[in-house]
Structure 1
Amino acid sequence: MSARLLAALLLALALPGCDEMDQQPRYDSYEESALFSDGKSLQSPPEGTLARDDPAWMAALAERPPMSQALLARGRERFGIYCAVCHDAAGYGRGTVPARGFPQPPSFHIQRLRQAPSAYFVDVITHGHGVMYSYADRVRPADRWAIAAYIRALQQSQDTDVARLGEAERARLAEAAHGE
C-alpha cells in the first residue's frame, strides 16, 4: 500500500469525526437555561462594566492626571503586576520573561525613553510596540497614566545626583551601599 493511499484512507476515516463539532451543546441568546438562577441564558454584564470604547472610559486617556502620591502608588502597583515581569522592578528590561528566552525590552533608562513624553508610554501600553502586545484590554486608561508616572519616578530614581538628596537620604544610601 503506497503512502499516498494510506494518507487518503486515514483522511477519509478522520473526516466523519469532524462532523461532531456541528452538534455541540449550546444555548441560543434568548433560550431558557438551567445554568443560571434567573433561567436565562443571556445574562446582563456585571455592575460597572463599560465597553472599551465607552466615552467615559476613554476620557481618562485624553488628559494626564495631576501628579500625586496616590497616582505614583497606583502606578507602582500596576507596574508590578503588568510590567515588571518583562521590564524588571527597576525598569532595566531584565525581568523574568526575557530571562527565559523572550526578547529583552529596552531599558526605561536609555536616553531615547528618558526624552520621550509620558504620553508615549501610555500609547505603548494602549497599542503595543515591537514585540510587546497591547495591554488595552488589561490596563484601565487611568492606570496607564499612573504607570507612566511611575516609569518617570523610576527614571528619576536611577539618575539623580547624590548632591541633590537630603542628608537623611544620603545616609540611607550610604548604609544600603555598605550593606551589599
Structure 2
Amino acid sequence: MRYAYLALALFCVALVSILGFRGMTSTRPPNEVFPNTFFPEMSRQAKFKPQASTPFFADGRTDRPLPAGVVPRGELREDDFLYQGKDAKGEFARGFPEEILINAQLMARGQERYNIYCIPCHGALGDGNGITKSYGMGTTPTYHDDRLRQMPEGEIFNTITHGKGTMMSYADKLSPQDRWAVIAYVRALQRAETGAPADVPPSHKPELGLK
C-alpha cells in the first residue's frame, strides 16, 4: 500500500513540475496574462490625475496641500549657522560654520558658482562693474566698500538666500554649501584688492614671479 502512496506522490510532483513549473516566461503585462474578468483592477486602477477635481475631498481638489510643519527627508536643517547664517542669539554670525572647510576645492567651487550667477552684476573683480551695468539695470555695490568688508558672513549668506533690493533670491540655484563657497570666494576677492606681496606665502611666490 505504501508503494501506492509513493507512486501517487511522485505522480503529483511530476504533474506540478510539468504544468506549474514549465520554465516559460512572458513579456506580456499581468493584465494580459490574467483575464480582466478575474483581475480587473490591473488594467483599470483607481487613481487621481494631477489638477483634476474629485468629490472625495471637501475642497474638490485632487492635489493635496502639505501638512503643517512637514519636513522633507534629509531637510530638517537644525543648524542655524549652516542653513541661516545666524548664531545662537539669532544674530548674523561671523566666520564660517565648522562643516565648511576653507580649502582649494571650496575656493574653486565658489569661483565656479560666482562666475555663473554673480559676475553679470558684481563683475569679475567684485567691483560692481558687471555687464548688467552697461544695460542700465541699476547700480550694484562694490564688495570693496568698507560696509561690505565689515559685513558678517552670515548676513551675506542671508542676502544670497532671500535677496535684497533689486537682487533676487538665489536659494533655488545655490545650495547652502555653495552659498558659503561663494562667500569664501568673495572674501578672497576683497583680500586680493588690498593685498601686498608680503601676504603671499613663500611657497607660492615663485608661481607669481615674486621674491
Partner of 1:61: 83
Report the 3-state secondary structure (helix = DSSP H, G, I; strand = E; otherwise coil) of the residue aligned with 2:209: helix
Correspondent of 2:138 among 96, 99, 103 = 103
Partner of 2:105: 70
Distance, in Å, in 2 between the alignment partners of 1:57 and 1:117 is: 21
Report the 3-state secondary structure (helix = DSSP H, G, I; strand = E; otherwise coil) of the residue aligned with 1:112: helix
Alignment of 1:125-136 (within 5 A): 125-136=160-171
Alignment of 1:2-81 (within 5 A): 28-29=49-50, 54-56=75-77, 60-61=82-83, 64=97, 65-81=100-116
Structure 1 residue 57: Cα displacement? 9.8
Distance, in Å, in 1 between the alignment partners of 2:125 and 2:159 is: 18
Check the 8 A contact 2:109/2:181 in 1, yes or no. Answer: yes
Q: What is the TM-score when the length of structure 1 is the normalising length?
A: 0.61
1:119 maps to 2:150:
no
Report the 3-state secondary structure (helix = DSSP H, G, I; strand = E; otherwise coil) of the residue aligned with 1:76: helix
Correspondent of 2:121 among 81, 86, 101 = 86
Identity percentage of aligned residues: 36
Check the 8 A contact 1:162/1:170 in 2, yes or no. Answer: no
Question: Relative to total residues, which structure has the larger helix share, 1 or 2?
Answer: 1
Distance, in Å, in 2 between the alignment partners of 1:30 and 1:108 is: 46
Report the 3-state secondary structure (helix = DSSP H, G, I; strand = E; otherwise coil) of the residue aligned with 2:194: coil
Structure 1 residue 68: Cα displacement? 1.3
Work out the number of aligned pairs and report it.
129
Distance, in Å, in 2 between the alignment partners of 1:94 and 1:170 is: 26
Report the 3-state secondary structure (helix = DSSP H, G, I; strand = E; otherwise coil) of the residue aligned with 1:55: coil
Which of the pair has the greater relative contact order for Cα pairs under 8 Å at 6+ separation?
1
Q: For each residue in 1:30-67, what CA deviation from the matched residue of structure 2 results, as whole angstroms up to 9, or x when unmatched?
A: 88xxxxxxxxxx9xxxxxxx96x932598742562121
Partner of 2:179: 144
Structure 1 residue 168: Cα displacement? 2.7
Report the 3-state secondary structure (helix = DSSP H, G, I; strand = E; otherwise coil) of the residue aligned with 1:136: coil
Q: What is the TM-score when the length of structure 2 is the normalising length?
A: 0.53
Q: Which has the larger radius of gyration?
A: 2
Report the 3-state secondary structure (helix = DSSP H, G, I; strand = E; otherwise coil) of the residue aligned with 1:132: coil
Check the 8 A contact 2:77/2:83 in 1, yes or no. Answer: no
Q: For each residue in 1:57-101, what CA deviation from the matched residue of structure 2 results, as whole angstroms up to 9, or x when unmatched?
A: 987425621211111111000000100010011100010112211
